[in-house]
């Protein structure tokens, strides 16, 4: 850490706005509407404008910038004389910067739904939900050469030798240039009375955008719009259900039957969803971590399994001098099915003392839920399953309350 009076430190320009960028007006209106069509039917709609709380990373990352932290990179050196014969010297490692015109991210969220009281103590809800996110952050490397410059070299050209800002390697700049959209049909059915109570929710959605987070890589640094597609958090179908079933108490049976067999409660949670979107990537020098090429054919296999989840032959590593042709989110990972169940019984010793027996079954049916395969063509496990979520677990417990 250099001294505060070091000339290099004193040379850092002063006068930047607080937080390294100016804050804009954050007027955030909310509008809501509820209208009863009849005593059992209500229409609801709403709109809101929401601004993000600016994270600290754009500022925190600059702590490693020169002159506070310095590093050097040498190519073609050796252990005896590291700097000897170095063809490229990069005095600084990664430098973090912030676009002076950075804007605060925001989202417009809106919904329209119908709620209806149904027979048999049921309640139904059908809602359209949408969200438009704008000015989201990403961190492109603004010190990458253009494809025209890359094409004048070869695949073995040292990247630092053709960067536009010589003497530096990666220069990541926080920019507010990413957009994302979410649209969903959400259906909900619930029953909150009687011995059988449940909720059931189904979502059919699409989540499109250019990046899932500000740290996402593999994006085109020259034109982020080319990365528009299903985000890696996009799930088309999702179902979540809960159940509470109070078994008969057997009040009219003898004590020997009623105590051990009556009054049990069965509860459960089910979560079923389709797979996440994945982007197939490749790596070739000098600019690595890029989308792969799509060469034709079905991207998914008709009968996917651990040894092959999608059609690896449909993709190839892009050549060194251009961006890959495969779009974002072109393949889907495995879906998920999780069923958790509980069995509970209360034994009342007195009015104030009771004993609770409980058995919990996590992933009760021991369904195998695979992890996503690697989507990087340079990985030895590319397109294959190498792991899974935990198998079934059973927990038994006894609780004494007094």
The answer on pLDDT for 280 being more than 80 is yes
pLDDT band per the 50, 70, 90 thresholds, residue 97: confident
Q: Which domain holds residue 211?
A: 92-160+168-401
Look at 83 and 367; give whichever has higher pLDDT. Answer: 367
pTM: 0.83
Q: If pLDDT is split at 50, 70 and 90, which confidence band does 277 have?
A: very high
Burial class, 90, CB count within 10 angstroms (exposed 0-12 / middle 13-18 / buried 19+): buried
For residue 339, tell me if it sits in a domain: yes
- In this predicted structure, the answer to whether residue 219 has a pLDDT above a threshold of 70 is no
How far is Cα 115 from Cα 124, in angstroms, rounded to an integer? 6
Q: Tell me, what's the pLDDT at 22?
A: 59
Residue 262 domain-assigned (yes or no): yes
In a domain, 32, yes or no: no
Kindly report the backbone phi and psi dihedral angles of residue 270, in degrees, each rounded to the nearest multiple of 5, phi listed first. Answer: -120, 135
More confident residue, 12 or 351: 351
Query: What's the token pair of residue 178?
Result: 């990413």
Q: Which two tokens stand for residue 7?
A: 């000339």
Whether omega for the bond prior to residue 67 falls within 30 degrees of 0, making it cis, is: yes
Residue 43 lies in a domain: no
Please check the confidence at residue 334 and state whether its pLDDT lies above 90.
Answer: yes
Residue 283 belongs to a domain = yes
36, part of any domain: no
Please state which of the ranges 122-126, 214-218, 267-271, 287-291 shows the lowest mean pLDDT. Answer: 214-218
Q: Helix, strand or coil for residue 260?
A: helix
Cα separation, 129 vs 111, in Å, equals 4
**Bridge partners, residue 238, by sequence:** 203, 273
DSSP-based three-state secondary structure for 27: coil
Residue 311, in any domain of the structure? yes
pLDDT in tens, 113-137: 999 999 999 999 999 999 999 999 8
| Interstrand relation of 95-98 and 171-191 (parallel, antiparallel or unpaired) | parallel
Number of domains observed in the structure of the chain: 1
pLDDT at 11: 63
CA distance 32 to 111: 9
Is residue 75 situated within a structural domain?
no
For 180-189, what is each residue's pLDDT tens digit?
A: 999 999 999 9
């Amino acid at each position: 850490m250099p001294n505060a009076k070091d000339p290099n430190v004193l040379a850092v320009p002063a006068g930047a706005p607080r937080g390294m960028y100016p804050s804009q007006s954050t007027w955030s209106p909310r509008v809501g509407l509820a209208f009863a069509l009849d005593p059992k039917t209500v229409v609801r709609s709403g709109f809101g404008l929401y601004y993000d709380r600016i994270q600290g990373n754009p500022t925190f990352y600059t702590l490693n910038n020169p002159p506070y932290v310095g590093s050097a990179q040498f190519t073609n050196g050796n252990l005896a004389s590291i700097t000897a014969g170095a063809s490229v010297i990069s005095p600084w490692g990664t430098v973090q910067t912030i676009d002076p015109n950075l804007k605060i991210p925001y989202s417009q969220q809106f919904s329209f739904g119908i709620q209806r009281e149904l027979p048999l103590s049921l309640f139904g809800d059908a809602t359209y939900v949408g969200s438009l996110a704008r000015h989201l952050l990403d961190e492109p490397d603004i010190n990458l050469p253009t494809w025209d410059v890359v094409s004048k070299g070869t695949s073995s050209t040292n990247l630092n030798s053709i960067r536009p800002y010589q003497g530096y390697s990666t220069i990541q700049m926080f920019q507010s240039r990413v957009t994302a959209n979410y649209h969903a049909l959400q259906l909900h059915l619930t029953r909150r009375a009687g011995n059988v109570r449940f909720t059931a929710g189904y979502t059919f959605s699409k989540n499109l955008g250019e990046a899932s987070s500000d740290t996402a890589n593999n994006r085109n640094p020259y034109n982020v719009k080319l990365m528009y597609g299903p985000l890696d958090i996009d799930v088309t179908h999702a179902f979540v259900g809960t159940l509470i079933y109070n078994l008969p108490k057997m009040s009219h049976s003898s004590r020997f039957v009623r105590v051990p067999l009556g009054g049990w409660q069965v509860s459960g949670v089910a979560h079923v969803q389709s797979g996440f979107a994945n982007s197939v990537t490749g790596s070739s020098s000098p600019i690595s971590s890029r989308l792969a090429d799509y060469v034709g054919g079905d991207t998914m296999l008709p009968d996917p399994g651990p040894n092959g989840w999608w059609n690896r032959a449909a993709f190839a590593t892009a050549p060194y001098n251009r961006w890959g042709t495969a779009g974002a989110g072109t393949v889907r990972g495995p879906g998920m099915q999780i069923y958790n169940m509980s069995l509970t019984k209360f034994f009342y010793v007195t009015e104030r003392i009771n004993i609770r027996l409980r058995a919990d079954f996590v992933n009760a049916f021991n369904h195998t839920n695979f992890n996503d395969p690697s989507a990087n063509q340079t990985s030895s496990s590319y397109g294959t399953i190498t792991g899974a979520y935990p198998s079934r677990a059973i927990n038994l417990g006894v609780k004494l309350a007094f």
